[in-house]
Structure 1
Amino acid sequence: MLFESSRIRLRKMTHEDTELYHTWRNDMDVMQTTNPSLDVYSLEETKVFVDQVILGAHSAKSYIMVDKINETPIGVVSLILIDYKNRNAECIIDIGEKEYWGKGYGSEGLKLLLDYAFYEMNLHRVSLKVFSFNDRAIHLYKKIGFQQEGVIRECLFREGKWVDIIQMGILQDEYFNK
């Protein structure tokens, strides 16, 4: 499996990435569109999260997206809740470096992750959740081939109003035939 595109490469997330991930995890601009709780985390809480959830879980694989030109880590892509028996997983993507927003890096990173999920891991289905106000992400996911599968109505309170979480998914044959 080749973990690179024209502009980025993926490398496994390690313990050495904890402080960088902590910075992204506590940036409210970054988390506004991806984290339901918008909590501020201590470094110790982030270390525990990275150790137990990101690196310590058999059912997760996380990768740092790196800009190939200047070797700058720009974000993280993950497969979580991997169900090997039923060949399903959920994916997550966060671009932590804001100067990389809106320039196609998320699309490249997600496609690399999906290539791995479908070609290498032979998963049948990959799902994700997206906040209903995140129009850019919804557009990206649909462009890649994800379909809306459901709506978790008014389960998130953001900026004084209730918003939905949209459940989306893509099947292996849909990804191969797009």
Structure 2
Amino acid sequence: MSTTPKRLPARDRILDTACELFYAHGIHAVGVDRLIAESGVAKATLYKQFPSKDDVVAAYLRRMDDRWRHQLRSAALAAGDDPRDQLFGLFVALEYAAREGTLGCAFINAVAEYDPGSTAHTITAEHKRGVRAWVRDLAAAAGAADPDTLAFQLTVLIDGTLAATRVEHADHAAEAAKQTARALLDSACPR
């Protein structure tokens, strides 16, 4: 049995590289030539996998969507079976995001670089609506009188916390968000 690690397929190498570079430096700051060089693929290979940089950006955002939703769901489930506790558990996912060196929300960062109607803007809006719909379902299950408003408040709080980590690398942002979330939940979903 070989101990040599298997090399990832070209598409995965390109996407892994794009995720790292786009998140760290911004999408517009990373050119196709850098993606090619750092992923170790030929130009023809990149364009075979992704016909344009917009296609790489779309795949990057979809991967980040999968990762973030997985983090949120895991944090919610780890908080227990009660939907109210799961809503509060979402803010545990922010503890990772608040660590120094984390660069905020990949979607907020990306949408800042694109005009409405662009692929990146559309995917970001879909992501935000999808997360909010899921939070709304949890809020309804938790007994919120107005689950739409609570979902909007909680997702704005999540986004604001992620933005604060981008701007200030605020260690206390996640803790402040937890306190605010607790107050919102106490008000909207009394026990």
Where is the strand percentage greater, Structure 1 or Structure 2? 1
Larger RCO, structures 1/2 (Cα 8 Å, 6+ apart): 2
Where is the helix percentage greater, Structure 1 or Structure 2? 2
Query: TM (normalized to structure 1)?
Result: 0.32
Query: TM (normalized to structure 2)?
Result: 0.30
